[in-house]
Amino acid sequence: MALVDLLGEESIKLRLENREKRALLAELVELLERSGALSDADAFLEAVLAREATGSTGLEQGIAVPHARSDAVRRPAVALGMAPEGVEFEALDGQPSRFFLMIAEPAEADSQHLEILASASCHLVDPAFRERLLEAGTAREVQQLFANAEGVALPPPSAVEGHLVAVTSCPAGIAHTYMAAERLREAARELHLDLRVETHGAAGVRDALTVEEVQRADAVILAVDREIGRQRFAGKPVLQVPVTDAIRHPRRLLLRALRQPVPQQEAGEARQDVDAFDGWGLYRHLMTGVSSMLPFVVGGGILITLSFLFGVDAADSQSPEFHPLAKLLVALGGTQGAFGLMVPVLAAFIGRSIADRPGLMPAMVGGFIAAQAGAGFLGGMVAGLIGGYGVLLIKWLCRPLPEALDAIRTILIYPVAGLLLCGSLVMLLVEPMTTVNSVLVDWLNGLNVGNRVVLGALLAGLMAVDMGGPVNKAAYTFGLAAIEAGNYFPQAAVMAGGMVPPLGLGLATQLFPGVFSRLERQSGRACMVMGASFITEGAIPYAVADPFRVLPACIAGSMLAGALSMWFGCQLLAPHGGVFVIPLVRQWPSYLLAIAAGALLTACLVVLLKRFVRPTAKPSKPSQPGDGTPGAKV
């Protein structure tokens, strides 16, 4: 997020009036209140003073950054005040402070002020930049200085052509969520649109939309791959798309949203019933279940792997290698703990995504029945779908009942009828599902080395096809299902395949900078960091800008890494984590070699293709990929 997204004209004061510390802080708080970021200015001021009591926020070179988290903050915001003569603020260097950047965060925020501080400090430490701030004659000029320094467009104040709000969310909540939000913000600045974006990531909700912002919005964009609830947007034109659409075509998405018709019905239960049956809705419900299950797989897998440090049979009390800590780790992570809850949680959140809270309990019980019978991952998905759609059917059948019985429906009819319907159907289907699951497990366990290599190349290659899209998620879900079935080879190939594209492209920008644009070279190191963290989405900007040459190179490198992973017999119990879990991989030195070989192949191929193969379609703006240009589709 750019600093100018949080720093409005109304939050800038060129000449602060007060010279006493408390009064000066109150003056800055007043700027934030004027911007609408605070619900209780007095409470926030007390939070700022409490923070100052622990130590002054006066830094060096005349810069001070007072900040606080508080329930009195509606949304993250920044206020900037200047005192050219300087004010005594107990700075680290003992000098008066002249630039005061106040940061306000909601109580549940996760240290976002550090990101804002890092963004601002890289400019404020420049003496020439500080002098230009002091010479500014208007708040607008101050905004423009920060916008120029950050390389973002600042629309003219009178040119705002619409007010939009958006929500972004991907199944994992790690990369796509925030990339989509940033691309939408960039496009909104270019189109002179007022846009507020709320993100639903792995760490929770950030930049939550206020009631006032939703009411003022001309339209709503939901770029989500899991259910986030749309009741608060009732009566507003809502455009709901996969999160990757916001990354690839943000300008097109914003313009489509403004053309959305006003809905003829409230976005409530009736609309949900309709949406739940479309094809993309089914994918969204399944991904909601997978993302909710993921922490159980990660936590349980890592604990089980750590138990192997004591010995392969250290959790067995009859073994000479027995260690009580290993037994505890296996109990917490295995079928008695996290792994035992994987399938019920998967089913529960699929059901909840389809039918809201009434669908959770029947689906969870169905998932538990499937897990106990050995139906595995497949049984959990089927139980979730039966529980969710079964409750939707019951809701539809209950429509003729009078409104006076609403409470009875929620408390009595939905739970009892839903459990009876879902439980009965799952028990009826559990035997064939168990047979199918057993066949799959036997097939995986019976693969020879050659077949494993082919499977590893296929799964890893699919991870690079759309880099976080449905194909990528299908391969990843297969790896999770294999973990649940007790086979840990496929997930190792899956993670290797997902790490290679950003690693290979980042490596190429460092080894062969001449074939990349300036922006691509600057992003190369960040791309490598994302690849090392198993965030395949780091390669998306390169793929969107030049899909016909980047994608083949990425797929080839991923296939090589996956094939080598299987050839070396690498196994991975933790489904995520990148380099942070590689020490837990069985045959980890060989695993590193497989990833390095795949990344090097991707780097070499992309350079060769860029030098000797002409692109099929030339993007209109290579340095701004994914702005909706024809052919820029991954």
Residues involved in catalysis: 67, 170
Distance from C-alpha of 617 to C-alpha of 632, rounded to nearest angstrom: 8
For residue 163, list its beta bridge partners. 194
Distance from C-alpha of 493 to C-alpha of 337, rounded to nearest angstrom: 26
Judge contact between 120 and 150, C-beta under 8 A.
no
* Helix or strand holding residue 332 (H, E): helix 324-333
The letter for the amino acid at 83 is: A
Distance from C-alpha of 282 to C-alpha of 287, rounded to nearest angstrom: 9
Helix, strand, coil percentages (3-state) for the chain, rounded to 5, are 60, 10, 30
Those residues with Cβ within 8 angstroms of residue 457's Cβ, 6 or more apart along the chain or in another chain: 493, 559, 560, 562, 563, 566
Judge contact between 430 and 375, C-beta under 8 A.
yes
Which two structure tokens, joined as six digits, stand for 249? 């075509």
The letter for the amino acid at 453 is: V
CA distances from 338 to 329, 335, 354 (A): 11, 7, 24
Task: Look up tokens 């017999």; give the residue.
Answer: 569
For residue 38, list its beta bridge partners. 73
| Angle subtended at Cα 534 by Cα 528 and Cα 538, rounded to the nearest 5 degrees | 50
Q: How many helices (H) and strands (E) does the chain have?
A: 24, 10
> Residue 80's closest CA among 109, 122, 117?
117
Which two structure tokens, joined as six digits, stand for 399? 């429509």
Judge contact between 225 and 243, C-beta under 8 A.
yes
Distance from C-alpha of 286 to C-alpha of 614, rounded to nearest angstrom: 40
Judge contact between 208 and 181, C-beta under 8 A.
no
Helix segments in 35-91, DSSP class H: 41-53
Judge contact between 379 and 440, C-beta under 8 A.
no
- DSSP category for residue 260: P
> Residue 242's closest CA among 279, 273, 214, 192?
279
For residue 164, list its beta bridge partners. 195, 219
Distance from C-alpha of 318 to C-alpha of 311, rounded to nearest angstrom: 13
Exposure of 36 in the CB half-sphere (CA atoms within 13 A)? 8
